[in-house]
Amino acid sequence: MADDSAGARPYDSIDLSSRAFWSQPAHGRERSFATLRAHRPLSWHPPVADALMDDPDDPGFWAVVRHADIVEISRRTDVFVSGQGVIFENVPEEMLEMSQSFLAMDDPRHGKLRRLISAAFTPRQIARITESIDANAKTVVQELAAAGPGSDFVRTCSSQLPMRTLSDMMGVPEAERATVADAADDLVSWADPEHVAGRDRMGMLFESTLELHRVALALAEQRRAEPADDLMTALVQAEVDDERLLDEEISAFFVLLAVAGNDTTRQTTSHAVHALTTFAEQRDWLAAGFEARIGTAVEEFLRWATPVMTFRRTAVADVELHGHTVRAGEKVVMFYSSGNRDETVFAGPGVLDLGRAPNPHLAFGGGGSHFCLGAQLARTQLKAILRELLNQLPDLRAQEPEYLAGNFIHAIRAMPCTF
């Protein structure tokens, strides 16, 4: 057994912490992940470079790169907890609940909050949201067609549907929709120098989080006085065991929805269109039998894109894993991008196979109590937007994407398209 005291533990020769690592293309990162999966499935790394906040006491983190280990850690909530943060970075404690809602909570509070929020997603709400998604998808693609060839697919199409879905779901007034979209962009783009454009990163995050709280709290107050047929009304009225959501819980969930509910669909749509351009035979296969084939296709697009690349847990007890001792208090980072290319789970993981089945991808996490609450919503949006794109613009082709820097979201910042 290796000496696993943090001070004596050497950092791995493959650096998963540097800006250079996360600035290279995904296939470059995958070469490093493949080496780690094969030879060092658990490896120790220095704190992430250019961190959001300095912590001289941070010794580093464990990297988990195999599919099976990610699933195990996701489900071992007794040992690997979320309440100390779920992103790579250390962030101020007050930011955790303001921006990550029940993602950064442990039971029993996590379970209570999740049950209350789930109670708001009634069959009536789901049916209404689905109708809204279909209508918005049609309109968004019509707008892309009107914008003409050479348009930025991200700005004109992939970013539009999830934000319109969120706004329609929650009842966000038209005058606030651009504010919500801009604030959500700030919350996932703080590691990208071009997006930050010289602003103080922490200040930008706080300001954007507070702006989303402002919108949510005003809307919650309005819906208590004037109920409507939307999710915000359902949230303020939701009740489980005589308990209701507090205002700060509703506004934190709104922040989570603005980020997570936006980026999974947005990024997967962009990556899917780029993949359909690269793998033309897969595009033809899907178009030849869309309704029968879109189910497996969406799962493969999610695996291929892996829109959320990393999440972290913190050990609360010593645990043995792959011959190492993960000590209580140490960070464990799950690399979903690596798990979704695990050769022991996916045959030919570097090939897009829209008929792949089974497809136990990790795009919505590794299971357990933190499995993505919005998974079905994301799938519904992806089916709707891809249906409209193939019907309205069957010759749509993506040009070279421009990627957003960062270790959290696998983001395409811009991508011109032709048709």
**pLDDT for residue 92 is more than 80:** no
Summarize the confidence of residues 6-23 as an average pLDDT: 90
Whether the model clears a pTM of 0.85, i.e. scores above it, the answer is: yes
What crossing angle do the helices spanning 123-147 and 375-392 adopt, rounded to 10°?
30
* Residue 326: DSSP 8-state: E
At 395, the pLDDT band (50, 70, 90 cuts) reads very high
At 7, the pLDDT band (50, 70, 90 cuts) reads low
Burial class (CB in 10 A: 0-12, 13-18, 19+), 323: exposed
**pLDDT for residue 105 is more than 90:** no
Residue 4 is predicted with a pLDDT of: 62
At 255, the pLDDT band (50, 70, 90 cuts) reads very high
* Residue 159: DSSP 8-state: T
Residue 6 is predicted with a pLDDT of: 66
Residue 306 is predicted with a pLDDT of: 98
User: Are the beta carbons of 149 and 399 closer than 8 angstroms?
Assistant: no
Q: Please report, for the chain, how many H helices and E strands are present, in that order.
A: 17, 13
Residue 1 is predicted with a pLDDT of: 45
At 103, the pLDDT band (50, 70, 90 cuts) reads confident
Task: State the CB neighbour count (10 A cutoff) for residue 166.
Answer: 23
Summarize the confidence of residues 374-389 as an average pLDDT: 95
Peptide bond into 108 cis (omega under 30): yes
**pLDDT for residue 335 is more than 80:** yes
Summarize the confidence of residues 111-129 as an average pLDDT: 84
Lowest mean pLDDT among 52-56, 270-274, 327-331: 52-56
How confident is the prediction for the chain on average, in pLDDT?
Answer: 92
Residue 5 is predicted with a pLDDT of: 67
Summarize the confidence of residues 82-105 as an average pLDDT: 80
Lowest mean pLDDT among 28-37, 250-259, 312-321, 351-360: 250-259
Lowest mean pLDDT among 135-139, 230-234, 384-388: 230-234
Torsion of the alpha carbons at 110, 114, 117 and 123, rounded to the nearest 10: 180
